[in-house]
Amino acid sequence: MAGPDPITAGKVYYIPLNSVPGQAYVTLPAPPAPAPAPTDYTLSETPDHHSTKFPYGWVIGSMGVALALIAIAVLALVLWKFFGYNPQDPNNQGKSPDRHKFQLLKSGSFCYGSGRYLCCQFGNAKPTRADGGDHHINVPKGMAADVFDREKPIVFTYEEILTSTDSFSDANLLGHGTYGSVYYGVLRDQEVAIKRMMATKTKEFIVEMKVLCKVHHASLVELIGYAASKDELFLVYEYSQNGLLKNHLHDPESKGCSSLSWIFRVQIALDAARGLEYIHEHTKDHYVHRDIKSSNILLDGSLRAKISDFGLAKLVVKSSDAEASVTKVVGTFGYLAPEYLRDGLATTKSDVYAFGVVLFELISGKEAITRAEGMGASSNSERRSLASVMLTALRKCPNSMYMGNLKDCIDHNLRDLYPHDCAYKMAMLAKQCVDEDPVLRPDMKQVVITLSQILLSSIEWEATQAGNSQVFSGLVAGR
């Protein structure tokens, strides 16, 4: 090898680092060069001759089986929840789930797992002997399979109704309604009210069930179910512990009822107004009750109001300018609107008129048809409508500062324990509701707003009366 200068450096020998001095070095063959990585082009052109493939079929099949098992388990859980059936219960051994059985909750209502009332549970199956003997339930002919659309009440047996009312004993009689008597009963450990009607009242029977199975509101009495025998029909409702509003307003002491404080009166008015607003405006089909009165407003254990007796309820027909239903005049005198008496035209404003009369009852404690004071009891001319009496008093009452004759019309059971401005506002609202012209009457939405404001003002007034022991001592309706 030539160096950088003309001097010869000599030969260059390759001496491996792993050689041993004195021994001959054996050269090993060079390792083979690694094969080049296959390219996409090479793989695509080279056919796959391997016999083993990825088991796509097994994976898809396993997933299908797993999904099917999950679906079956979910379906079984849903059915178990729906029927509330417990195979471990000895009472259910050897029996299929009965769709008429319901779970009893100690909340004052008949419900099953979904929380809906049993009014929406299917009830068209025939009762078995285990449910109440062999008594034949004779369902009215007019009750077709689709008469309740998709929501149907539960069917009770006649034997259950008879047992729950102690064979309709007088001790269980709660009162008499428009189309039948109402009895107290205990059905499957639950307090209920049972309306007993003659079989000739099939039309009213079906109308009430159709309406109450479609409308559900805290201020409407809840229908639980029904029963029927050869000659009688029965409607089963939730029980209202404090009975009729009428009994708490008109001579309550003689009827064993407590008088109502001002706050309760306003709250009851607001509850009833909300129930009416609901059936007038917030249901799929709008209804006119046609029989709003103090005897059709029930009070529960907390003195909250519920509207009842929908046997005369009518579906209103929607038109471009109003909602009305032309029908024969039904209802109770003293609560009937003038145009309804004249033309037989039932509208939501007809209910507003009747509600105005109820407001006058709450204020005065008098009945819808009252007797003029200072006149003989034998004369027929002395009987006047409460609305006309109250309107006469309001004409002489310019404002709440000068109550005048209106103060004499306010219920003496209130013992002057009420805010005068709120009583005046409530009387003026009632006046608007009973206006001769239905167009000038407020709708129930406006009534609810006004009553809510009156209730708020009344609560504020009550707070200022903390030093007055009578407001809180329970002498007036427990407040």
- pLDDT number for residue 22: 66
pLDDT digits (tens, 9 = 90+) for 187-235: 988 999 999 988 877 888 888 888 888 889 999 999 999 999 988 999 9
- Averaged pLDDT, 350-360: 97
- pLDDT number for residue 26: 61
Question: Which of 109-118, 178-187, 331-340, 379-388 is predicted with the least confidence, judged by mean pLDDT?
Answer: 109-118
The whole-model pTM stands at 0.68
Is the pLDDT assigned to residue 117 strictly greater than 60?
Answer: no
Establish whether 131 is a catalytic residue: no
Report residue 181 as tokens. Answer: 């008597």
- pLDDT number for residue 76: 86
d(CA 383, CA 371): 5
pLDDT band at 400 (very low <50, low <70, confident <90, very high): confident
- Among the residues of 183-222, which ranges form H helices? 202-212
d(CA 310, CA 221): 10
- At residue 89, φ and ψ (nearest 5 deg) are -70, 125
- pLDDT number for residue 193: 95
Is the pLDDT assigned to residue 90 strictly greater than 50?
Answer: no
Is the pLDDT assigned to residue 2 strictly greater than 70?
Answer: no
- At residue 264, φ and ψ (nearest 5 deg) are -65, -35
- pLDDT number for residue 24: 64
Q: What percent of the chain has pLDDT over 90?
A: 43
pLDDT digits (tens, 9 = 90+) for 256-280: 898 999 999 999 999 999 999 999 9
Residue type present at position 479:
R
Residue type present at position 207:
V
Report residue 476 as tokens. Answer: 């007036």
Q: Which of 346, 354, 343, 347 is nearest to 307 (CA)?
A: 354
- pLDDT number for residue 346: 87
- Averaged pLDDT, 428-444: 97
Parallel, antiparallel, or unpaired for β 223-228 and 154-155? parallel
- Averaged pLDDT, 170-187: 88
Residue type present at position 144:
A
Per-residue DSSP letters for 236-284? EEE--TT-BHHHHHSSTGGGT-PPPPHHHHHHHHHHHHHHHHIIIIISS
pLDDT band at 84 (very low <50, low <70, confident <90, very high): low
pLDDT band at 325 (very low <50, low <70, confident <90, very high): low
Sheet of 190-198: strand order equals 154-155, 223-228, 232-238, 190-198, 181-187, 173-176
Catalytic residue among 189, 285, 291, 416: 291
d(CA 222, CA 237): 6
Q: What percent of the chain has pLDDT over 70?
A: 66
> What value does the mean pLDDT of the chain take?
77
pLDDT band at 97 (very low <50, low <70, confident <90, very high): very low
Q: How many residues are there in the chain? A: 479
- pLDDT number for residue 177: 73
- Ranges for all domains in the chain classified under CATH 3.30.200.20: 98-238
Exposure string of 237-248, with b = 16+ CB inside 10 Å and e = fewer, is bbbbebbbbbbb
- Ranges for all domains in the chain classified under CATH 1.10.510.10: 245-472
More confident residue, 66 or 454: 454
Per-residue DSSP letters for 314-361? EEPEE-SS-EEEE----S-TTS--HHHHHH-EEEHHHHHHHHHHHHHH
- Averaged pLDDT, 242-251: 94
Assigned superfamily of 245-472: Transferase(Phosphotransferase) domain 1 (1.10.510.10)
- At residue 117, φ and ψ (nearest 5 deg) are -70, 155
CATH fold group of domain 98-238:
Phosphorylase Kinase; domain 1 (3.30.200)
203 is in an annotated binding site: no
Report residue 196 as tokens. Answer: 């007993």
How many other C-beta atoms lie within 10 A of the C-beta of residue 134?
Answer: 9
